A = this chain, B = another copy of it.
Amino acid sequence: MSGSTAPGPGEFTVRTLGRVVGGRDEWVEDGWGSVTAAIEVAPDLPDDVTLGLSDFSHLEVVFVFDRVTPEASQRAGARHPRGNEAWPEVGLFASRGPVRPNRLGVSRCRLLEAQPRRLVVQGLDALDGTPVLDVKPWFEPFAPRDAVRQPAWVGELTSRYY
């Protein structure tokens, strides 16, 4: 992209391909399932970027947790999920929280309407204004294909999330 210089070894420069518009403007830990918002496509992408998406019911969205500052995001040590000491401390890679070095979020959401430059979605847990780095169609066979095992705290944490 113009204006940028080459990243260092092991680094990559990624750019905003869309932006969340609407939905929540402050972090709330539960009830995301009913939240509607839109993903507006970045102006440098062509109109056909959403061609064929109306055949899909769900999207996978990669976004930046931009409410976390780059400095705060460098904390890579173990943490209690949501700071809840009733739950065990887990390492960075056993957490899905926003405080993580690359600030990358990955979520599935329902696609309500695919317009050429605007995707209306439901259940996307990203705040108004969030930079979107990628949108992919959800392929059903790309979910885990065998039984999923997870610790008890995940069931508690997610029970009212959607």
Binding site for B on A (CB under 8 A): 1-5, 7-17, 33, 41-42, 45-46, 48-53, 55-60, 62, 64, 76-78, 88-96, 100-104, 106-108, 110, 119, 123, 131, 133-151, 154-155, 157-158, 161-162
Report which residue of A33, A55, A135 has the largest number of chain B beta carbons within 10 angstroms of its beta carbon.
A55
B14 adjacent to A52 (CB under 8 Å): no
What's the Cα separation between A96 and B134 when bound, in Å?
10
Chain B residues whose C-beta falls within 8 Å of the C-beta of A100 in the assembled complex = 134
A140 adjacent to B148 (CB under 8 Å): yes
Give which listed residue, B2, B131, B150, contacts A57 with CB less than 8 A.
Answer: B150
Query: Given the known A-B contacts A94-B56, A150-B55, A162-B145, are A11 and B13 also in contact in the complex, defined by CB atoms under 8 Å?
Result: yes
Query: Given the known A-B contacts A11-B15, A88-B52, are A57 and B133 also in contact in the complex, defined by CB atoms under 8 Å?
Result: no
Give which listed residue, B7, B50, B96, B147, contacts A139 with CB less than 8 A.
Answer: B96
B3 adjacent to A49 (CB under 8 Å): no
What are 11 contact pairs spanning A and B, CB under 8 A?
Answer: A1-B8, A7-B13, A10-B15, A11-B13, A11-B15, A50-B94, A51-B89, A95-B137, A123-B145, A138-B148, A141-B154
